Chains A and B, each alone.
Chain A
Amino acid sequence: MLIGIVNIVLGLWLMVSPFIFGMNRLTSNINHIVGPLVITFSIISLWEINRNAIKVNLLLGVWLLIALFLFEYTKTIAFFSNGGAACLVIILSSIKRKGGGKFGGGWRSLFQHNPAHLREAEKTP
C-alpha cells in the first residue's frame, strides 16, 4: 500500500514539476505523459488482485532515465528532479509485495491448463 502511495506522489511530482522548474515544452510533455501513467498504474496496483500493475511503472521509470540523455533538459534542477523521481519509481516498483488474498490463481490462471480455481472446483463435492 505504502509503495503505491509513494509512487502516486512521485507521479504527481512529475506532473507539477514542469510548472515549478519552467521546463521546456518537450521535456514538460514527457512529464505530463509519464506522470499520469505512473499515478494510474500505482492506483490500479493498490488492490491486491492487480498488484503486478506496478511493474508497468518500472518501464516508465526506465524511460524517464533514458529520456534524460535523449532530450535537452535546459534546467539542471529539472534534470536531477526527473532522475531522482525515475530512480525512486524503479526501486519502489521492483520491490516484491506479498498478499493474503486468493483469486483462484489470478489473471495467470486464464492461460493455464490446470489452474488453481479448477483444482479447487474439482475438490468441491
Chain B
Amino acid sequence: MSEAKFSIGIDLGTTHCALSYVDITSSDGENVAQEVLPIPQLTAPGSVQSQGLLPSFIYLPHASELAPGDLGLPWTAEQDYAVGEMARSRGAATPIRLVSSAKSWLCHASVDRRADILPHDAPPEVARLSPLEASLRYLKHLRAAWDQAHPEAPFAEQEIVVTIPASFDPAARELSAEAAKAAGCEHMILLEEPQAALYSWIQKSGGNWRKQVQPGDIILVADVGGGTSDFSLIAVLERAGVLELHRVAVGEHILLGGDNMDLALAFAVASKLGAQGIKTDAWQLRALTHACRGAKEALLNDASLSEVPLVIASRGAKLIGGSLRSELTRAELTATLLEGFFPDAAIGDRPQVRGRAGLTQLGLPYAHDAAITRHLAAFLARQVAATADLEGFTGALPEGATFLHPTAVLFNGGVFKSELLAERTLGTINAWLAAEGAPPARPLEGADLDLAVARGGAYYGYVRRGQGVRIRGGTARSYYVAIESVMPAVPGMQPPVQALCLAPFGMEEGSDAALPEQEFGLVVGEAVRFRFFGSSVRRQDQVGTLLDDWEPDELQELAEIQTTLPAEGRADGEVVRVKLHARVTEAGTLELEALPHDGPERWKVEFDARDAGGSEGSAGDAADATA
C-alpha cells in the first residue's frame, strides 16, 4: 500500500458537510499546506455547481418527478437521489421525500439506527434510508468529489479523520466508523468536533498559540452549530517544559442549534401576522424561516438597524400583489434569541425539563429548554471536579467554587458568527466567574466558524504522525453494565440494579481495559441483552467497581447492549460463564467482547441492541451475575 499523501478532515455535520485537506508531503512542522475542497453538487435539476459546503440533505425523488439525466453528477449518471443544495431546496417543498438531520438520528438511542426510518414522515411507497445509510451517502459523495479532483491520490489511500460530536455515545461512534469504512476509508480515525475546532485554532495561530495560553488555563470550547450544541473543557498543563492539552470533560448531547433559532423567530413573526388576521400555511412558514434567518443576520451584525422588513413571495407568478409583508424588529429578536436562547442565567440555574413544546418536531429528542446558557451552567457545575485528579495541572479552584472556572473560551459553529451572541455567552460566563471572585475568561480569537471542524480534522491527521501538539484525554466517559440483584419478585417493583464498571474514564486509543472479576452466565444460542450506562463525571471508578446506588445525573442510561453466543461446539441451552472486556480501538471506538472462562473465543457485544422480531425480551433475564 502506498503512503498517504494527504490528511483529509471530514466534518459530517447535522446541516452541512465540509472537507478540508493537508498536503502531508509539502507541510513541515507548523507550516501547513491546507485547502478546502469545493464540492460539486446538484443545485437544480441538471445543473451542477461546486460549493465549499455540502448541505446534509438527501432528496428521494418520485420516478416521474425529474427528467432523465437531471440527477447526473460529474462522476455518475446512475444515481437515483440527490445530495446537497438541490436536495435541500427541493425537499423544502416536498418534505416527505427529504432526509435531513441524519446525524441527530444516528445518536438517537431510542430508535434502531440501522433500520430504514428516514424520512421519518414518508408515505409507505418512499424507499426509506437508515441514519447509517444516509451518513454513508454523504461520505460517498465527498469521496467521489475527492477522487474526481485528485485522481492521482485516491481517497481510500489517504489518512481520513471524521469528526463527531464529543457527546456521541459508543453506538453512534461505532456507526460513524462503520459508515466511514463502508465509504472506503481504510485509514480512518474519529475526532471530537470541539477538539477539531481547537486544533484548527492552533493551526491558524501558526505557533503563536503557545503565547496565548499558559499552564493552568482551562479552555471552554462552545460549539453551537445548525442542529446541535456541544461543549468540551480542555486543560493546559506543562510537562518537562512542553505545553500539553488535556480534554478533561465533554457535555451531554443537546439537540439545539441555529435552526431552532430561525424557527423560533419565524413562529414569532407568524403569530404577529396571525394577530393581524393573516394565516400562514406550511409553505409560507418555511419561506418565513428563510427570511428570518437573513433578517437575524442583518440585525445581529449591524447594531444601528432597528428592524428588517420581511417579504414572503406568493407561490404563483403574481409576485407583487401576492406577497406577504412583515418585519422583524430588534425587540422581537432580543426577546426571542437573547432571552429565549441566551438568557442571563445564574450559575445555579438548570435546564427546565418542560416548555417550548411548540418547537419540537415529532421524532427527534430536541432539548426541552432552549436556553443554551442554562445548559452551559449545568455542564460547568457538573464538571466542577474535572481537573481535580489531573496530574501536573497547576490551575486550582477557589474554596467553595460551585463550577469549573474556564479561563478562556473558544467559540465555534455558525451561531457565533454573531458577535452579539458570542458576547452574551462570554458575558454570562464572566458574571458567574465574577460572583465567585475569579478573573474573567478571555475569548480565543481567529477561529473560522464554518470550516474550523473540517480544517482541524485534517490538521489532526497530520499532527498525529508526530508533528505538533496533540490533545490528550482518551474516552470522556466511564462505562457500566447493569447487574440485577437476586431478590423475590414483587409485583410492580423493579428489582434493584447494580452497575459494574467495564471501562474506566480516559482510556486512550488503542488501549485495553483490565478484565473484571465478575462473570455472567450466558445461554448459548440466545441473544442476551444488558442495560448499559455511561458516566461523564465518575473519574475514579476502575474496572470491576460495583456501584450500588448513584445520583440520578451521575450515570446516564444508554441503549442496551447485546451478545449472542454461537452454538458451535456447545449444546444449545448450555450456560457459559463469560467475562466482559472493553477496549478502545485505534480509530477511537469502544469495543466490548464476551470472553468465555473455558476457551479462547471472543464474542462481540453489539451496541444499540434491538429486537428484530418485536418480542420484547428483557435484558438481564437470561444473564445473571455470578460474582
Q: Do A and B come from one complex?
A: no
